[in-house]
């Protein structure tokens, strides 16, 4: 793994009135790293991610994404990243080809680039025969694999994945993670949130948020040793649920 910093976060804080959703978090992520960003619902991880991708302004603190300040250069942050969420990534009422063309345009690609990348993408996914099918007709697993590929269309330095495998079957989850490994090996940084603690084991490093703060950050191996447990699920329970 390259030790070039691609994300730097210093005392990042988000307050809503008197409520502190994200409380002075600091961490770094490196080029080509698969970084797991974990926490129970309400822990603050979604709020933190929104600040990192440039759609929510921090109350205080700093965050630099691919060298750009999220406070002062949110537009350049958005251009430097790919983003995929479980809830919304593609338009169901557009075909595969139309979705790729639409997002390619948003990412600033030329018509020639979109044409070339569409051809390459559908071939890699084995979707040549389905290119004119509505995305809404695809099984969830295929939607998610397609969404991930589309998030990479403009060759971003970082891809943010917000619960990308929620609701898909175990085989598709494994295939999805194989795609993640391929991209990370190319030098793309993967920043991923997940509810599946077995997926935390696949990350190079993992942070665990509890009530707005980062309570732990290390490799899965080191975290399991530190808390003297056999799995990341047990680490999570000790930290987030106070289970002894």
In what side-by-side order are the strands of the sheet with 34-39?
81-85, 158-162, 189-193, 34-39, 205-210, 213-218
**Residue 118: predicted pLDDT:** 95
Residue 121: what pLDDT? 94
Give dist(CA 187, CA 166) in Å, integer: 25
List the chain residues with pLDDT less than 70: 1-2, 88, 242-244
Rounded CA-CA distance 50/43 in Å is 14
Query: What are 85-125's pLDDT values in tens digits?
Result: 877 678 999 999 999 999 999 888 999 999 999 999 999 99
pLDDT at 235: 93
Whole-number pLDDT of residue 88: 66
Q: How far apart are CA 194 and CA 181, in angstroms?
A: 16
pLDDT of residue 192: 96
- pLDDT of the residue at 108: 87
Do residues 90 and 39 make contact, with C-beta atoms less than 8 angstroms apart? no
């Amino acid at each position: 793994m390259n030790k070039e910093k691609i994300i730097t976060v210093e005392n990042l804080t988000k307050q809503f009135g008197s409520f502190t959703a994200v409380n002075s978090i600091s961490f770094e992520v490196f080029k080509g790293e698969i970084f797991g960003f974990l926490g129970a619902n309400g822990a603050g991880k979604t709020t933190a991610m929104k600040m990192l991708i440039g759609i929510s302004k921090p109350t205080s603190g700093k965050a630099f994404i691919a060298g750009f300040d999220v406070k002062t250069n949110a537009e350049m942050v958005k251009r430097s990243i790919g983003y995929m969420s479980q809830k919304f990534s593609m338009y169901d009422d557009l075909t595969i080809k139309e979705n790729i063309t639409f997002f390619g345009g948003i990412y600033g690609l030329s018509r020639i680039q979109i044409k070339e990348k569409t051809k390459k993408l559908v071939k890699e996914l084995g979707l040549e025969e389905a290119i004119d099918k509505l995305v809404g007709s695809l099984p969830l697993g295929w939607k998610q694999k397609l969404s991930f590929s589309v998030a990479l269309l403009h060759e971003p330095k970082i891809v943010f994945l917000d619960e990308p495998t929620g609701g898909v079957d175990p085989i598709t989850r494994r295939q999805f993670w194989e795609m993640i490994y391929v991209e990370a090996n190319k030098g793309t940084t993967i920043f991923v949130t997940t509810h599946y603690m077995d997926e935390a084991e696949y990350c190079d490093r993992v942070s665990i948020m509890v009530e707005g703060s980062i309570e732990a950050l290390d490799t899965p191996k080191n975290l399991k040793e530190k808390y003297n447990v056999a799995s990341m699920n047990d680490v999570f329970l000790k930290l987030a649920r106070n289970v002894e």
